[in-house]
């Protein structure tokens, strides 16, 4: 049974409130909520008359109430698109960013689909990197690790939903992990210094888990561990791929690599021309 509330009228009322609250990209986010909750596309929303079903009105109002509080739309609708798939991203899970897809592009450029490799995804979160690689490379044996129980549960759920079986998701702290060598190591580590957190947008600092944003120190803790322990983590002909920030610590990461005479690196730029991914490997 439908209410007498015309969807486009409801939608426009919400847009007015969101605009007053200065919520960024409020129209696009609102369209995403309508699509996810009612199955009504952007085109249908504007060209056809729809009445809101009675059993959907309350949940729809609740969703827009959360958007007014600047909650990320990916948390409101509970999913995020990454590469070619949709991943569950409920509140408490770090939202995959489009720029992280560059890691997948770099690996696809380096490895053929028939490659047999062992892969470690450090700080896997929703599992978007490791699961995507496992989906693209059926011969990869992928391990995703995280310290968050919620992340482990959601990553496992994402792998099951996408029918990806060549990945193991386990709770593990990389700093306590027993030595084991992999062909490929990937990570989008927490690279923000703890002093940077207060300056982030509310949608990030209030909703993304702190442990996924910062090492609670200067942002270098993970990179230092990766580089200092590369001989215990990476096979001699292997490669590490890490996302890096657009910040002052980038030069310090470069210095760490240059100070290790056994390794080399290649930087890759994102679409905005910023260094976004670094590949680290042993000198031949």
The CATH number of 80-282, from 3.40.50.150, 1.10.3210.10, 3.40.1190.20, 3.90.1150.10, is: 3.40.50.150
**Is 30 within 8 Å of 11 (Cβ atoms)?**
yes
Does the pLDDT of residue 2 top 90, yes or no? no
Q: pLDDT tens for residues 214-244? A: 999 999 999 999 999 999 999 999 999 999 9
User: How does DSSP assign 131-193, residue by residue?
Assistant: HHHHHH-TT-EEEEEES-HHHHHHHHHHHHHTT--SEEEEE--GGGPPP--EEEEEE----B-
Q: pLDDT tens for residues 143-169? A: 999 999 999 999 999 999 999 999 999
Does the pLDDT of residue 213 top 60, yes or no? yes
Does the pLDDT of residue 255 top 80, yes or no? yes
User: How does DSSP assign 237-274, residue by residue?
Assistant: EEEEEEE--SSTHHHHHHHHHHT-TTEEEEEEE-TTS-
| Helix 26-38 vs helix 7-20: crossing angle, to nearest 10 | 140
Does the pLDDT of residue 1 top 60, yes or no? no
Return the exposure string of 157-192: e unless at least 16 CB atoms fall within 10 Å of the residue's CB, then b: bbbeebebebbebeebebeebeeeebbbbbbbbbbb
Q: pLDDT tens for residues 175-210? A: 999 989 999 999 999 999 899 899 888 889 899 999
SS3 at position 51: strand
Percent of the chain at pLDDT exceeding 90 = 79
Nearest to 229 by CA among 264, 171, 189, 180: 180
**Is 110 within 8 Å of 78 (Cβ atoms)?**
no
């Amino acid at each position: 049974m439908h209410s007498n509330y015309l969807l486009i009228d409801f939608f426009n009322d919400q847009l007015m409130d969101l605009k007053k609250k200065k919520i960024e990209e409020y129209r696009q986010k609102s369209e995403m909520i309508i699509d996810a909750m009612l199955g009504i596309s952007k085109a249908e929303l504007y060209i056809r008359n729809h009445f809101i079903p009675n059993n959907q009105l309350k949940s729809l109002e609740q969703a827009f109430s959360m958007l007014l509080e600047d909650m990320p739309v990916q948390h409101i609708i509970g999913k995020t698109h990454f590469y070619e798939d949709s991943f569950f991203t409920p509140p408490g899970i770090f939202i995959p960013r489009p720029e992280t897809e560059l890691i997948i592009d770099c690996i696809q450029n380096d490895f053929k689909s028939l490659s047999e490799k062992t892969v470690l995804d450090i700080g896997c979160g929703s599992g978007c990197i490791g699961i995507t690689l496992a989906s693209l490379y059926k011969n990869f044996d992928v391990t995703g690790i995280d310290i968050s129980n919620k992340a482990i549960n959601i990553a496992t759920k994402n792998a099951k939903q996408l029918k990806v079986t060549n990945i193991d998701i386990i709770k593990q702290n990389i700093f306590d992990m027993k030595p084991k060598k992999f062909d490929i190591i990937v990570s989008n580590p927490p690279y923000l210094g703890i002093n940077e957190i207060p300056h982030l947008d509310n949608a990030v600092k209030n909703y993304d888990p702190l442990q996924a944003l910062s090492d609670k120190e200067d942002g270098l803790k993970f990179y230092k561990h990766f580089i200092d322990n590369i001989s215990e983590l990476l096979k001699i002909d292997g490669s590490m791929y890490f996302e890096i920030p657009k910040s002052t610590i980038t030069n310090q990461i470069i210095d760490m690599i240059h100070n290790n005479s056994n390794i080399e690196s290649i930087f890759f730029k994102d679409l905005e021309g910023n260094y976004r991914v670094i590949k680290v490997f042993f000198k031949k």
